[in-house]
């Protein structure tokens, strides 16, 4: 399905990696059956679609603990929260760093949820590995190859977001770096791409989710929060994501979105998240049923 390389298979000076016959042999669906990525006791890519949720940024103990308890009650299985934030302006809130990591871990432990957080820099990898159960590579770092190589050498599951201007091939090639470097626990995340239309923050590319599910054995989830930037559209787009075959969604939730230090317009209230989960129950059950049938067939 993926193009073959045209170059030589082995390299004479041996300083470069040998090129395989297929362009991306490790992520390609031809390589193996569906990968199930495990984050503590949570399985991503199996018969049940998963919901990860939490604040855009960890802001305070009260904020992240109350959010963890609220999302757990509504049925989320992984807590998200940014401690190192990739902000467009250097004058915007940059995250609480190590203090944020500690608070996220504490909130996860209180609510009994595994935690995921973004890694922006190679130098932060060891500290983040001490606190997080899953590492997030953000859209802006999808092609930070040094960071990909470093994270490939950890034993943590990884969420690899699609770059806002990345093609499907570039996204899969970034995942190939992780597998090639030794980390096979990789989940892909579509989070919207740039387009000509400024009506929404980004353009949610759901056709590519269905396409990538055909091309790779890795699980694929969708981030409707960053894709739309608009609270009122999260429910519709999350349902659509599950309908096209996504293995889950990751959603931003905040106790008081109107005073959030980042991404205020797209974060759901606790009540909004609880409604979303009610709306998702039927699609989630349907997909679980159809996947069980597919396994039996
Ligand atoms: C995030 O999830 O906090 C984030 C910054 O997302 P993205 O990398 O998709 O912009
Ligand atoms: Mn955000």
Helices marked H in 145-233 — which ranges? 145-152, 168-180, 206-215, 224-228
- DSSP secondary structure code for residue 265 in this structure: G
Residues pairing with 221 in the sheet = 189
Residues pairing with 78 in the sheet = 52
206 CA → ligand 2 middle, Å:
19
Question: Which residues are placed with Cβ below 5 angstroms of ligand 2, an ion?
Answer: 56, 263
* Phi, psi for residue 73 in degrees, rounded to 5: -60, -35
pTM score of the predicted model: 0.93
Bridge-based pairing of strands 37-39 and 42-44 is antiparallel
Mutate to test the pocket of ligand 1, among 80, 138, 140 (most ligand atoms within 8 A of CB): 138
Pocket of ligand 1 (CB under 6 A): 56, 82, 86, 118, 138-140, 161, 191, 223, 226
- pLDDT tens-place values along the chain, 297 residues long: 444 443 344 445 556 777 887 899 999 998 689 999 999 999 999 999 999 999 999 999 999 999 999 999 999 999 999 999 999 999 999 999 999 999 999 999 999 999 999 999 999 999 999 999 999 999 999 999 999 999 999 999 999 999 999 999 999 999 999 999 999 999 999 999 999 999 999 999 999 999 999 999 999 999 999 999 999 999 999 999 999 999 999 999 999 999 999 999 999 999 999 999 999 988 777 777 777 777 676
Do residues 267 and 55 touch, judged by C-beta distance below 8 A? Answer: yes
Q: Which residue minimizes the CA distance to atom 9 of ligand 1?
A: 139
CA-CA-CA-CA torsion sign (102, 104, 107, 111): negative
Do residues 100 and 82 touch, judged by C-beta distance below 8 A? Answer: yes
Q: How many whole angstroms separate alpha carbon 233 and alpha carbon 228?
A: 7
In order of 13, 150, 173, 202, the CA distances from 192 in angstroms are: 41, 26, 18, 5
198 CA → ligand 2 middle, Å:
18
Do residues 95 and 58 touch, judged by C-beta distance below 8 A? Answer: yes
Instruction: Identify which ligand lies nearest to the alpha carbon of 86.
Output: 1
226 CA → ligand 1 middle, Å:
7
- Residue 14 pLDDT: 58
Mutate to test the pocket of ligand 1, among 54, 57, 86 (most ligand atoms within 8 A of CB): 86
In order of 72, 78, 236, 242, 252, the CA distances from 283 in angstroms are: 19, 19, 11, 7, 20
139 CA → ligand 1 middle, Å:
6
**Which atom of ligand 1 sits closest to the CA of residue 86?**
5
Query: Helix 270-296 vs helix 234-243: angle between axes, to the nearest 10 degrees?
Result: 10
């Amino acid at each position: 399905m993926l193009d073959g390389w045209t170059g030589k298979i082995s390299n004479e000076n041996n300083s470069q990696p040998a090129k395989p016959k297929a362009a991306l042999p490790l992520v390609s669906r031809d390589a193996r059956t569906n990968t199930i990525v495990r984050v503590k006791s949570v399985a991503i890519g199996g018969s049940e679609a998963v919901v990860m949720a939490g604040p855009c940024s960890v802001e305070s103990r009260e904020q992240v603990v109350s959010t963890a308890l609220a999302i757990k009650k509504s049925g989320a299985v992984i807590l998200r929260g940014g401690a190192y934030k990739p902000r467009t302006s250097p004058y915007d809130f940059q995250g609480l760093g190590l203090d944020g990591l500690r608070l996220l871990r504490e909130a996860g432990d209180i609510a009994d949820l595994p935690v995921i957080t973004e890694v922006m820099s190679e130098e932060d990898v060891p500290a983040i590995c001490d606190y997080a159960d899953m590492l997030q590579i953000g859209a802006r770092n999808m092609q930070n190859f040094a960071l990909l190589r470093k994270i490939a050498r950890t034993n943590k599951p990884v969420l690899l977001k699609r770059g806002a201007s990345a093609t499907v091939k570039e996204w899969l090639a970034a995942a190939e770096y992780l597998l090639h470097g030794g980390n096979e626990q990789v989940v892909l995340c579509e989070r919207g791409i740039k387009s000509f239309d400024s009506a929404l923050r980004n353009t949610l590319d759901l056709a590519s989710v269905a396409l990538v599910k055909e091309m790779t054995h890795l699980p694929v989830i969708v981030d409707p929060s960053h894709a739309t930037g608009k609270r009122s559209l999260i429910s519709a787009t999350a349902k659509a994501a599950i309908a096209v075959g996504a293995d889950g969604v990751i959603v931003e939730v905040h106790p008081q979105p109107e005073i959030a230090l980042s991404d205020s317009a797209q974060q759901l209230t606790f009540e909004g998240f609880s409604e979303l989960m009610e709306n998702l129950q039927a699609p989630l059950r349907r997909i679980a049923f159809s996947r069980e049938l597919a396994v039996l067939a």
